[in-house]
Amino acid sequence: MRRQHFLVVAAALGAWVGYANPWGQFPLAALTLPAGLAALGLDAESPWAAFKRAWVAGTLTALGCLYWVYWPVRRYGGVHWLLALPMPVLLAMIMAVYFGLFGMVAQVAGKRLPPLQALPCLGLAWTIMELAMATLLSGFPWLTLSATFIRWPITTQLAAYIGGHGLSGVLALIATGVALAPRSRACAVTSLATALLVCGLGWLRIQSYSESTPPRTVAIIQGNIDQGLKWDPSYQQRTVAKYVSLSRRALANNPELIVWSETSMPFYFQDDTALRAPVLDFLRSTNASLVLGSPAYKVNPAGPPTLFNRVFLLSGSGAAPRWYDKEHLVPFGEYMPFAEWLPFQKLVSGIGDFAPGRNETRLAAGGFVLGALICYEAIFAGLAQDRVSQGANLLVNVSNDAWFGDTSAPPQHLQLAALRAIEQGRWMVRGTNTGISAFIDPLGRIKEAGPQFADVAAVGQVHLRTEPTLFHRLYWALLAATGGLAALFAYLVRNARQ
């Protein structure tokens, strides 16, 4: 019993230290999560016992990594702290179901398969678990294991070949090899060999990295607008003036593209109003293109207008604006599921529920073909895949992480976004309201544009790339192969001697 308690605590503590946080991150510690969950499953006397133990460890893990959910619910949802406090607990308990199922797989595979067969089975199970997290119930792949290693680029380059979730499975295999080592020295050797292979491939990719296109200059404007004031009508003019002023400061470096944050303009920019005029006046003074965020609407003669979370691409040449409407919306932030049953309001005040966008026009200007990812769209591998399939030569992630204050959420969000740059072999420009704004290269290396909670006008250079990664080319084949391998291991487990 004492060993079980130790494994539960070790898995959770390792995850708390291994996942991004404001106090100090050590990526390798995150591997204690799959190792601990596997050990709990291997020690359990039944699949149900394995599920319960892994679920407890998973609940503690998710609570420590996702505690920040309390902050926006309490501060911006108008919820009393006694009602807001259970929100991250409930989310953690739901997320822990996935970890509980992983523990159950470890128990069954450990009992029925030889250790060297159980090892790849567990690595595959972790990948499938993360894919389920990214898909079911709108998807929330926030706890992607491979994202924790973004700080060590040599360990993450395999994502360009098998994707972030595939890399997570390989990392889980390395960790569970340690858990299986007492049963089989071959598992320990396999774990070590796999770790060396991951680092070796990473080193080769980093050493062979080069650019074949000229650098393009891009500016990121971080407006640092207080979320509590953002939608206040009396503050809108000052918001516009601040973004324009910071952008003029960046013009000294002759940027070809300027990126403002998600809903940087907290009004309907599509309407010809006095609030829009200073932005258009600024554009006429420069040759740069401008990306900005704003709510938008479409008139419906038979009912209320349909609202969208939109990104505009504007050109100083006077060309017609292009736009992208967010496709994957945030529950409780941009629309309210089960609104009649919940004791708090939608977190985005000042506007109604958004509708998912249906986009047909590319964001293209001056040689840039932008793959727009609004806010937490950057945590979904499939959305970045779609943007590059549509011709994007630069990924642009605009976000507003002011919701989360000085918590673990902004650095976690940044590291998840960096995975998309590696998977797709594209530079990413990440413009946010309060940080963390950044330039990210195709190796996932992050150059932060400035400190959080500060006014920033940062200028950097990117390269426009068109060559697809192996992951991009084989995206659907990799998913099919994952399903095929899952069926194979299920067959082996079913027909193995008990």
Distance CA 469, CA 396 (A): 18
Distance CA 201, CA 207 (A): 10
The pLDDT value recorded for residue 465 is: 97
- Stretch (H or E) spanning 468: none
Contact present, 153 and 202 (Cβ < 8 Å) = yes
The pLDDT value recorded for residue 82 is: 80
The pLDDT value recorded for residue 166 is: 98
Nearest to 333 by CA among 149, 91, 57, 69: 69
The CA–CA distances, whole Å, from 26 to 15, 250, 408, 448 equal: 9, 35, 14, 19
Does residue 343 have a pLDDT over 60? Answer: no
Take residue 46 and report the two structure tokens written for it: 């039944």
pLDDT band at 325 (very low <50, low <70, confident <90, very high): very high
pLDDT band at 362 (very low <50, low <70, confident <90, very high): confident
Q: Which long-range contacts (CB under 8 A, 24 or more apart) does 480-487 make?
A: 482/124, 482/127, 482/128, 482/131, 482/166, 485/124, 486/124, 486/128
Distance CA 104, CA 46 (A): 8
Does residue 28 have a pLDDT over 90? Answer: yes
Does residue 316 have a pLDDT over 80? Answer: no
- Residue with the bigger pLDDT between 36 and 232: it is 36
Q: Which of 111, 230, 326, 346 is catalytic?
A: 326
The CA–CA distances, whole Å, from 468 to 195, 212, 295, 366, 487 equal: 26, 14, 32, 21, 29
- Residue 24: Cβ within 10 Å count: 6
Nearest to 173 by CA among 143, 149, 193: 193
- 262 catalytic? Reply is yes
The CA–CA distances, whole Å, from 390 to 163, 270, 360, 362 equal: 19, 25, 10, 7
In the chain, the amino acid numbered 446 is I
Distance CA 375, CA 217 (A): 23
Q: Average pLDDT of 226-231?
A: 85
Note the pLDDT tens digit of each residue in 145-189.
Answer: 999 999 999 999 999 999 999 999 999 999 999 999 999 999 999
Q: Which of 111, 346, 375, 423 is catalytic?
A: 375
Q: Average pLDDT of 375-379?
A: 95
Lowest mean pLDDT of 95-104, 333-342, 385-394, name the range.
333-342
Does residue 142 have a pLDDT over 90? Answer: yes
Lowest mean pLDDT of 38-42, 327-331, 392-396, name the range.
327-331
Residue ranges of domains in the chain: 2-208+475-495, 216-467
Alpha-carbon torsion angle 418, 472, 171, 55, nearest 10: 80
- What single string gives the DSSP state of each residue in 394-434? EEEEEE-GGGG-SSSHHHHHHHHHHHHHHHHT--EEEEESS
How is the beta sheet containing 394-399 ordered, strand by strand?
363-365, 368-374, 394-399, 428-432, 438-440, 446-448
The pLDDT value recorded for residue 238 is: 95
How is the beta sheet containing 322-325 ordered, strand by strand?
322-325, 306-315, 289-298, 257-259, 216-222, 456-462
Take residue 139 and report the two structure tokens written for it: 């998807």
The pLDDT value recorded for residue 352 is: 59
Class of domain 216-467: alpha beta
The pLDDT value recorded for residue 107 is: 96
Cα-Cα end-to-end distance for the chain? 25
The CA–CA distances, whole Å, from 487 to 57, 451, 461 equal: 27, 48, 46
Note the pLDDT tens digit of each residue in 281-297.
Answer: 999 999 899 999 999 99
The pLDDT value recorded for residue 228 is: 81
Does residue 4 have a pLDDT over 60? Answer: yes
Lowest mean pLDDT of 27-41, 77-91, 294-308, 423-437, name the range.
77-91
In the chain, the amino acid numbered 219 is A
* Average pLDDT along the chain: 92
- Residue with the bigger pLDDT between 176 and 485: it is 176
DSSP 8-state symbol, 335 = B
Distance CA 155, CA 171 (A): 9
Q: Average pLDDT of 118-132?
A: 96
Contact present, 247 and 285 (Cβ < 8 Å) = no
Q: Which of 262, 327, 377, 423 is catalytic?
A: 262
pLDDT band at 229 (very low <50, low <70, confident <90, very high): confident
